[in-house]
Amino acid sequence: MLATQYSLLLWIGFLGISVTTAFPEQYGDCIKFYEMDPIPQSSEIETICVNETVTNATFCLFYPISCPEPVACMQGPLLPTPDGKCLMCPGQECIYNGDAYAVGEPFQGLDNVNTCYCQADGRVNCSNDPLPAPDVFCGI
């Protein structure tokens, strides 16, 4: 495996067992994973990845999911966002990456490539343009 190898020594009783495991490596702004490396998944983190087929590597950016400070709504009470993580003014805004956007407002997606729009139901709809090569995607 091409990933940096680290040897961990585990001592069980009187027996020493050596275990080798690969850790992901930093690549510009990304974390680089190889085909056998598990990519961490969490409901608290937004993950955006691009694949590189020559080396079977995946390059990922991770963003913590955050919510803006709730404000009073012009019409009606605050309600949970469609994903249930934040509070929003229904029919007036949506929440994306910790910021509130007005319905119909365009804004740049986390991948810095796609344009997103706030929908009236509080969901965010983003274009699905192809992501750039890992060097560009990761800021190398």
Question: How does pLDDT run across 29-76, given as a tens digit for each residue?
Answer: 999 999 888 999 888 899 999 999 888 999 999 999 899 998 889 888
The long-range contacts involving 80-85, CB below 8 angstroms and separated by at least 24 positions, are 81/122, 82/121, 82/122, 82/123, 85/43
**Among candidates 31, 25, 28, 22, which has minimal Cα distance to 59?**
31
All structural domains of the chain with their residue ranges:
5-64, 79-126
CA within 13 Å, CB half, 55: 13
Q: Looking at residues 95-106, what average pLDDT do you find? A: 95
The pLDDT assigned to 71 comes to 85
Helix H or strand E segment including 137 = helix 134-137
CA within 13 Å, CB half, 95: 21
